[in-house]
Amino acid sequence: MTSSLPPQQHQQQDEDENLWLEDIDGEKQLAWARAQNAITVQAYAQSPAFEALQQGILEVLDSDERIPMVRKIGPRFFYNFWRDKENPKGIWRRTTLDEYRKPRPEWETVLDIDALAAADGENWVWHGADCLEPDYRRCLISLSRGGADADVVREFDLEAKQFVEGGFSLPEAKNHVGWKDIDHLYVATDFGPGSMTSSSYPRIVKEWRRGTPLEGAVTVYEGLHEDMSVSAWRDNTPGFERDFVSRQMDFYESETWLRGTDGKLVKIDVPDDSNTDITREWMLVEPREDWTVGGATYRSGSLLAAKFDDYMAGRRELTVLFEPDDTTALDDYSWTRNHLVLNVMHDVVNQLEVLTPPADGKGPWKRESLGGAPELSTIAAGGIDEDENDDYFLTVSGFLQPTTLYIGTIGQGEPQVIKDSPSFFDASRHRVSQHFATSKDGTRVPYFEIAPKDLKADGTNPTLQYAYGGFEIPLQPAYSGSIGRAWLDQGGVYVVANIRGGGEYGPRWHQAALQENRLRTCEDFAAVSEDLIARGITSPAHLGAMGGSNGGLLMGNMLTLYPHLYGAIVSEVALLDMRRYTNLSAGASWIAEYGDPDQPEEWEFIRTFSPYENAKPGLACPPVLFTTSTRDDRVGPVHARKMHARMKALGYDSSFYENLEGGHSAATDNKESAFMDALGYAYLWRHLRN
């Protein structure tokens, strides 16, 4: 339903001719969406070429040769969630490690989502399982209706492989739920009026005892209406059992407390904008800003370690495990039983390092290399069972290199190949290169280019440029059979732009494009486009741009601010109306990223990157396709609906497709994903191949 406008925006409401489209499930609005869908399908999705494109992508998504990535749950079994042609909604299944090593493992089905959906008469989408350690017999299964972020939660017995009759169960909401023990849960959910934040997430967390009504659960903590969310959980690691409560003020700032057995909360005294992790005796802290504590200053983007109990007792002795420089950033880390694996990016390419804490908890950590990625590819490693051993899985992937999965044990030689992903296209015809463009303010912006080896720099090559540029998320080299078949095999050039706003160079790269500096994402993306044109790789008539969610907002801005650079644009599940975004779906949760349009001084800079505001006559916009999903309760379909309606009213070549299911991914199964992907690629091919 349409949210109410703040007083200062009443006049703006009168100016918005498309407010009626904000009633997401209204009969008139859905009829409008279906009519727009029919026009787009008729124009772009009813040809033999489209069918071939869609089928090629679906074969990749449904392939039995894909690597079934697993997660260890309990002492024996490795679990995998799997979708294919026979199981479109998916099956949750398990096997042993010995069996998993085989080319064709035998799997035991634990839960069949297709069968469950048929029995319940619901379009269930798997949202995962939270299993209670250390016994790992009971799990909390989360299921979404049609792919929305909101889900229902049901208790499941892993031994009996069935839901627990009379067990814990939560109705549909944006739930945060976790085990305390077999008879108690920490629950943050919709408890009724006033219990949700302005971001549409829970404001109150309670402790719920088995066999009692949810209404009788005991309040643990209440946040503020303007907060993003609250949650609580227990770390049940044997010997290190602890309870925590967290208040997420916005996307980047939070407070965490240690909860005592008496319910008393003791705050963990670290910067609100840091990422903090407690594993066994260690606390790791990643500050987003320079942090001065204990007489020392630590750089933004560092990784710091301290003994947790000592820190809570007031000691401030921190060990620097990683410190960034101008070209390196911490990508990720993972614990094994006795070691910490660091994944570091140097100019967006990974290297792995193993750190071993001192036995007595004092002195330097031992450091050893675990290897680097092959040229212009991505390597990642993660512990398999951090409570039990030093085993790890390692993956290697590149734009032209199918993923390989290794298994190893730290300190016991080289890891061994356990699974290989198949090749879905002829990579031998292509090459990968990394380049650097210069943005408007002189910043060096990296980008990857995947192109035919015999490419002629004559400006005629159909080129697809992709980016995300937000929320400190990096885009790294990765294999995609779908892109290979749908774009590279057809003779196209594919480009990934590592623009500011992402995490390619850590917090500084992200913070450089926050709020009043948001236009830097557009300037960086445009700089890459201009570099491609200057190098003769392509020309505006043959250059297409694509992005989703925050990347879809970027596409809306390229459409309205840099229309001369592109021959066609695809904007997927995007934010576009930045005047209204905080009143739509979960938009209020992103104020820290974009700013608050209800504050006049902030609206002055937000309006510069609001595509809906900047869509005006006389822009000479290229053709644009907006795709979205009715069930997307994160960004929501309203943005794409209104933007398309405005573009059409202005006389521009705009197309629109709204999947009636799918959530923020815009698809509930592989068939829907293949259709949505094929639609975007088919649209670009139609406009760029001329």
Cis peptide before 134 (omega within 30 of 0): yes
Task: HSE, CB side, 13 Å, CA atoms: give it for residue 394.
Answer: 26
Residue type, 478: A
- How many Å separate Cα 445 from the centre of its chain? 22
In 240-390, the DSSP E strands lie at: 242-248, 254-259, 265-267, 275-279, 282-286, 291-293, 296-298, 303-307, 319-322, 328-335, 340-346, 349-356, 366-372, 377-383
The DSSP string of 99-142 is HHTSSS---EEEEEHHHHHHHHTS-EEEEEEEE-TTT--EEEEE
Structure tokens at 474: 């990096």
Nearest to 370 by CA among 331, 348, 345, 343: 343
pLDDT of residue 308: 97
Q: How sure is the predictor about 9, in pLDDT bands with cuts at 50, 70 and 90?
A: very low
Percentage above 70 pLDDT, the chain:
98
Average pLDDT, the chain: 95
Mean pLDDT score, 14-32 = 94
103, pLDDT greater than 80: yes
Q: 427-679 adopts what CATH topology?
A: Rossmann fold (3.40.50)
- Residues 618 and 652: their CA atoms lie apart, in Å, by 10
∠ at Cα 160 (157, 166), nearest 5°?
A: 50
pLDDT of residue 6: 46
Mean pLDDT score, 444-472 = 98
Residue type, 473: I
pLDDT of residue 5: 42
User: Is 687 an active-site residue?
Assistant: no
Residue type, 36: Q
Spell out the residues 6+ positions from residue 51 whose beta carbon is closer than 8 angstroms to its own. Answer: none
Q: What is the 3-state secondary structure (H, E, C) of 530-598?
A: HHHHHCCCCCHHHEEEEEECHHHHHHHHHHHHCHHHCCEEEEECCCCCCCCHHHCCCHHHHHHHHCCCC
pLDDT of residue 10: 40
376, pLDDT greater than 90: no
Q: How sure is the predictor about 1, in pLDDT bands with cuts at 50, 70 and 90?
A: very low
pLDDT of residue 679: 98
pLDDT of residue 360: 79
Q: Are 330 and 286 in contact (CB under 8 A)?
A: yes
pLDDT of residue 442: 98
- Residues 50 and 668: their CA atoms lie apart, in Å, by 20
At 221-243, the pLDDT tens digits run 999 999 999 999 999 999 999 99
At 336-375, the pLDDT tens digits run 999 999 999 999 999 999 999 998 777 899 999 997 777 8
Residue type, 437: A
**Whole-prediction pTM value?**
0.95
At 624-653, the pLDDT tens digits run 999 999 999 999 999 999 999 999 999 999
The DSSP string of 42-76 is HHHSSSHHHHHHHHHHHHHHH-TTS----EEETTT
Spell out the residues 6+ positions from residue 472 whose beta carbon is closer than 8 angstroms to its own. Answer: 502, 503, 506, 507, 509, 510
Phi, psi for 163 (deg, rounded to 5): -70, 150
Q: 43: left (phi > 0), else alpha (psi -120 to 50), else beta?
A: alpha
- Residues 202 and 214: their CA atoms lie apart, in Å, by 15
pLDDT of residue 661: 82
Annotated domain spans of the chain? 324-422, 427-679
Residue 672's SS3 state is helix
Nearest to 464 by CA among 302, 257, 681: 681
pLDDT of residue 14: 53
Structure tokens at 4: 């109410």
Q: Which of 339, 510, 644, 664 is catalytic?
A: 664
User: Is 639 an active-site residue?
Assistant: no
pLDDT of residue 668: 86
Q: 250: left (phi > 0), else alpha (psi -120 to 50), else beta?
A: beta
4, pLDDT greater than 70: no
- How many Å separate Cα 187 from the centre of its chain? 24
Residue type, 526: A
Between the alpha carbon of residue 171 and those of residues 186, 232, 488, 650, the distances in Å are 15, 19, 45, 43
Mean pLDDT score, 540-564 = 98
pLDDT of residue 7: 43
pLDDT of residue 452: 98
- Residues 512 and 521: their CA atoms lie apart, in Å, by 9
At 177-214, the pLDDT tens digits run 999 999 999 999 999 999 999 999 999 999 999 999 99
Structure tokens at 100: 């998993």
Mean pLDDT score, 236-255 = 96
**Residue 277 DSSP class:** E
Residue 533's SS3 state is helix
C-alpha dihedral sign at 77, 78, 81, 86: negative
Q: Which of 142, 439, 549, 589 is catalytic?
A: 549
Per the DSSP assignment, residues forming a β-bridge with 9 are none
Residue type, 552: G
Residue type, 265: L
41, pLDDT greater than 90: yes
Mean pLDDT score, 498-522 = 98
Phi, psi for 551 (deg, rounded to 5): -65, -25
Residue type, 85: K
pLDDT of residue 345: 95
Residue 39's SS3 state is helix
